[in-house]
Structure 1
Amino acid sequence: MCGRYVIARAVGDLVAELEAEAEASLELRASYNVAPTSDVPIVLERLIDGALHRQVHVAKWGLVPSWAKDPVVGVRAFNARSETVLEKPTFRAAIKARRCGVPVQGYYEWKKSPDGLSKQPYFVHSADGSLIVFAGLYEWWKDPAKPEGAPDQWLLSTTILTMASPTEGELATLHDRLPVPLGPEALAEWLDPENRAPGALLEAALAEAWTLAAEWVLDPVSAAVGNVRNNGPELIEAITV
């Protein structure tokens, strides 16, 4: 499961690495300890004047479907299980036409000690430091309490898809769930809003996910990551255990 991650790239770096565009006014605060309900970057594609535009936006982590009466439902929807995402009411509309990527520099996961009395956090990241992009979904929610045209009338939110972890290898020693990574080709297909075959897209993404994840590096890090108030580059520094 992805419950904490790191994204400390500047907007310009995200735009360049994702080959996307962003509004000049877009603001993104670097964070080494991103938790659910935080603002996070997402990459999506929109059809504008007949042409696809890949864009970086900032969304709240925790999906709020358009039919929700209250945005608090997003607290329970920061991850979406790949096994049920096509049927769950919270996600089934978004996966058809509002798919996105969630770029990260890595994420934290905890491994139980042999005696089960403590947990050691690990920073999971790519070997070369490049971005990992997780398969995600996004939604727009209109706040009925806000006046028409208010700048904060619409809420953009997102969720990250997860799958079962592999049964062998280092990742198998961590959590039993794994965020679904997307390679460049799978990302392009996943983002395409004109592709209305979510089942096939999901199957293709899952087919290569374990292969991509097998290349990740797992570094033990300080227990300080367990407190969301701690936020700095020292959190991702490997320690000796």
Structure 2
Amino acid sequence: MCGRYVMAKTTADLVAEAEAEADANLELRQSWNVAPTSDVPVVLERFIGGPAGNGRPVRQVHVAQWGLVPGWAPDASAGARAFNARSETVLEKPTFREAVRSRRCAVPVQGYYEWKAGPGKTKRPFYVHRADGALTFFAGLYEWWRPARVPGEPGSWLLSTSILTTAAPDPADVRAAGEPSVLAELGELHDRLPVPLTRQGMAAWLDPAAGNPAALVHRVVSEAYTAAAQWTLAEVGPAVGSVRNDGPGLLAAPGPDPAAEPALF
């Protein structure tokens, strides 16, 4: 699952890492606590200068609402319930099945937060990110939505997005196979995993002329653990749990528990 993430790089850095184009007026808001329904950057490819076969595919960076709103939705509130899309059902669910056929994108993040269940009802937040500091690009979907036209008013389009998720690695299987230990840690952290794209997988996923969406979903899911093996986990403090908190300080390790007994010397 992915319910909060970090995206604080500059527009120039994002465009460079995505190997994309961006409008000169594009402005991205830095955030260390991105929550659903926020405006977020997405990377997509569209044909410029003509339809598929005549135009050229151009990779672009746009800003979208995190929470996909299908074109048939009566209002934009539908997006609040569709910020993640399960890979197992994305081809059949009415909310996502049209987007997965021809409106696929990548959602760039520096890392994401996940909460690990502890004793009782306690949960400890962790920051999951690439060890080398590079961006991760999650497999995503996008849609355009416009409210019912009001006579005399032009109306406006809303671009929205959702992040594809899959089952997290099974820790026992990871250890038995001798695979990177971070995969076992991810399996112990949560039973779902946002799908990270490999470089080659991202090119295939974004291709607007690609057919067979089932094969594309299968490919990016099958490569997800390979991409996730580059991640590392770091425990952070509970402040990340509130959307009112933001800033680089959220990535700091948690301080000592004030309720803990003092050390004896």
TM category (shorter chain) comes to over 0.9
TM-score by length of 1: 0.96
* Cα distance change on mapping 1:154 and 1:170 into 2, 3 Å: same
Deviation at 1:215, TM superposition (A): 2.3
The answer for the alignment partner of 1:121 in structure 2 is 125
Q: Aligned pair 1:51/2:56, yes or no?
A: yes
**Using the alignment, how far apart are the partners of 1:26 and 1:146 within structure 2?**
28
The answer for the alignment partner of 1:81 in structure 2 is 86
Q: Aligned pair 1:101/2:116, yes or no?
A: no
The answer for the alignment partner of 1:203 in structure 2 is 218
**Using the alignment, how far apart are the partners of 2:151 and 2:91 within structure 1?**
34
Deviation at 1:145, TM superposition (A): 4.5
Q: Is the 8 A contact 1:81 1:163 kept in 2?
A: yes
Deviation at 1:148, TM superposition (A): 6.9
Q: Aligned pair 1:161/2:164, yes or no?
A: yes
Q: Is the 8 A contact 1:80 1:161 kept in 2?
A: yes
**Using the alignment, how far apart are the partners of 1:200 and 1:112 within structure 2?**
34
Q: For each residue in 1:141-168, what CA deviation from the matched residue of structure 2 results, as whole angstroms up to 9, or x when unmatched?
A: 0122456774x61000000000011111
SS of alignment partner, residue 64 of structure 1: coil
Q: For each residue in 1:39-91, what CA deviation from the matched residue of structure 2 results, as whole angstroms up to 9, or x when unmatched?
A: 00000000112111000000000000011111111111000000000000000
Deviation at 1:112, TM superposition (A): 1.3
The answer for the alignment partner of 1:31 in structure 2 is 31
Q: Aligned pair 1:175/2:163, yes or no?
A: no
SS of alignment partner, residue 235 of structure 1: helix
The answer for the alignment partner of 2:239 in structure 1 is 224
Q: Is there any run of 5+ residues in structure 1 with no aligned partner, and where?
A: none
SS of alignment partner, residue 200 of structure 1: helix
After TM superposition, the structure 1 stretch with the greater mean CA deviation from structure 2, 231-240 or 2-11, is 231-240
The answer for the alignment partner of 1:139 in structure 2 is 143
Q: When the two structures are aligned, how many residues end up with a matched partner?
A: 239
- Amino acid in the other structure paired with 1:11: T
Q: Is the 8 A contact 2:238 2:254 kept in 1?
A: no
After TM superposition, the structure 1 stretch with the greater mean CA deviation from structure 2, 230-239 or 84-93, is 230-239
Identity, % of aligned positions = 62
Q: Is there any run of 5+ residues in structure 2 with no aligned partner, and where?
A: 50-54, 172-183, 257-265
Q: For each residue in 1:179-214, what CA deviation from the matched residue of structure 2 results, as whole angstroms up to 9, or x when unmatched?
A: 000011000000001002111111110111012112
**Using the alignment, how far apart are the partners of 1:145 and 1:77 within structure 2?**
24
Q: For each residue in 1:88-137, what CA deviation from the matched residue of structure 2 results, as whole angstroms up to 9, or x when unmatched?
A: 00000000000000000000001112x22311100000000100000000
**Using the alignment, how far apart are the partners of 1:183 and 1:215 within structure 2?**
11
* Cα distance change on mapping 1:51 and 1:217 into 2, 3 Å: same
Q: Residue 66 of structure 1 is aligned with which of 71, 78, 83?
A: 71
TM-score by length of 2: 0.87
Q: CA RMSD of the aligned region, Å? A: 1.4
**Using the alignment, how far apart are the partners of 1:207 and 1:112 within structure 2?**
27
